[in-house]
Amino acid sequence: MSARRVLVVRTGAMGDVLHALPAVAALRHRWPEAEIDWAVDPRWAPLLVDQAGRGPVVSRVHLAETKVWSRKPFSWTTARSVMDLRKALAAGRYGHVVDVQGTLRSAVIGRLAGGEDLVGFADPREGAARLLYTRTLERQGAHVVEQNAALLGGALGEHLEPMAAALPLWPSAEDWADRAFGDFSIRGRIALLAPTAGWGAKQWPAERFGALAAALAERGFEVLVNAATMQDEVGMAVVRASQGRARLVCCDVAQLGALTRRAAVVVGGDSGPVHLAAALGVPVVALFGPTDPERNGPWGMGPKRVLRDPVSVTTYKRSGEVEVGLGRIEVEAVLAAVEELLQA
């Protein structure tokens, strides 16, 4: 095993992968010849590698099919998937494995690699994960990006300052975006709305997204609403509330990246598309409620505005109701933030 062969475990979700990437970019800068691989759910692999499996930061990815495992935990499909992953990880002969996710599942994935050094946070998201680590490190830094850099650097005996990371290009996704939205992107007038989030408390009301969409359309924007499927209830509610001035767009992660690159501005809550926009340097207006933007806010070099009402209280409890402070953010304030960004 080589000390310059490193495995990072962060299977998902989109925003979490993007918040781990600046640490790995810093390591790549420090160790340019190292083998730095990543265990990730297939849904998020396009954030790390292109269609040929090559990435600007990571050497390669190992696909941990966590959605399949959860859906069919006792099936032969799951057993075969786990065995294939174990074989691929063991072949990597990693000198260091770093679990930045902190769940029991991610720690088990780290163990599947068979390395002697498995490092994680001293206070992982799931306490049982700590039992599988060979070493633990205390969290350092306010933002999760800083915490991830401190963990990875501490595991490898390096001081790492988070770095903006290049994201891979998918030619098929770029072609799709050019065909579907090229005319609008040339004019620089695409406004991309991301109305959904991990749980309801983080979602600004769909009616207000719709009103915002109508106001942006009046200002000459082509307003697109990101959705997981064309039957997405929140997305459809936004389109209805916009009086037909917004259009629902369903796309995969690679296509979302291509579309985001063409956007003039992205508006959403604490969600993957907002963090993707920040990582790509696209102007972003982020609407925060129960989660703390000092810890979880959009991270990147591009222009951004974060709106959070003073009454919001930080909690990561997965409530389904819109958080009180988030519900106090008015359409006019968001529209003003968009206009301020684009005039800067």
Buried b (16+ CB within 10 A) or exposed e, 243-266: eebbebbebebbbbbbbbbbbbbb
If you average pLDDT over residues 144-159, what whole number do you get? 98
Tokens of 152: 């990875």
Per the structure, how many domains does the chain have?
2
Residue 6: inside a domain, yes or no? Answer: yes
How much is the pLDDT for 183? 78
How much is the pLDDT for 48? 98
Whether 268 and 185 share a structural domain? yes
pLDDT tens-digit map of 173-183: 999 999 999 87
Residue 166: inside a domain, yes or no? Answer: no
Question: Which of 130, 156, 182 is the last residue in one of the domains?
Answer: 156
Quick one: pLDDT band at residue 3, thresholds 50, 70, 90? low
What's the angle, vertex CA 315, arms to CA 310 and CA 319, rounded to 5? 110
Residue 163: inside a domain, yes or no? Answer: no
Question: Which of 126, 156, 186 is the last residue in one of the domains?
Answer: 156
How much is the pLDDT for 186? 66
Residue 33: inside a domain, yes or no? Answer: yes
Whether 81 and 215 share a structural domain? no
Which residues span the domain enclosing 9?
Answer: 2-156
pLDDT, mean over the chain: 96
Whether 40 and 149 share a structural domain? yes
Reported pTM: 0.96
Whether 335 and 205 share a structural domain? yes
Residue 318: inside a domain, yes or no? Answer: yes
Whether 21 and 121 share a structural domain? yes
Upper half-sphere CA count for residue 131 (Cβ side, 13 Å): 6
**Three-state SS letters, the chain:** CEEEEEEEECCCCHHHHHHHHHHHHHHHHHCCCCEEEEEECHHHHHHCCCCCCCCCCCCEEEECCHHHHHHCCCCHHHHHHHHHHHHHHHHCCEEEEEECCCCHHHHHHHHHCCCCCEEEECCCCCHHHHHHCCEEECCCCCCHHHHHHHHHHHHHCCCCCCCCCCCCCCHHHHHHHHHHHHHHHHCCCEEEEECCCCCHHHCCCHHHHHHHHHHHHHCCCEEEEEECCCCCHHHHHHHHHCCCCEEEEECCHHHHHHHHHCCCEEEECCCHHHHHHHHHCCCEEEEECCCCHHHHCCCCCCCEEEEECCCCCCCCCCCCCCCHHHHCCCHHHHHHHHHHHHHC
Whether 113 and 86 share a structural domain? yes
Question: Which of 91, 125, 156 is the last residue in one of the domains?
Answer: 156
Q: Taking a C-beta distance cutoff of 8 angstroms, is the pair 55, 24 a contact?
A: no
Quick one: pLDDT band at residue 115, thresholds 50, 70, 90? confident
Residue 68: inside a domain, yes or no? Answer: yes
The domain that holds 131 is classified in CATH as 3.40.50.2000
Whether 308 and 192 share a structural domain? yes
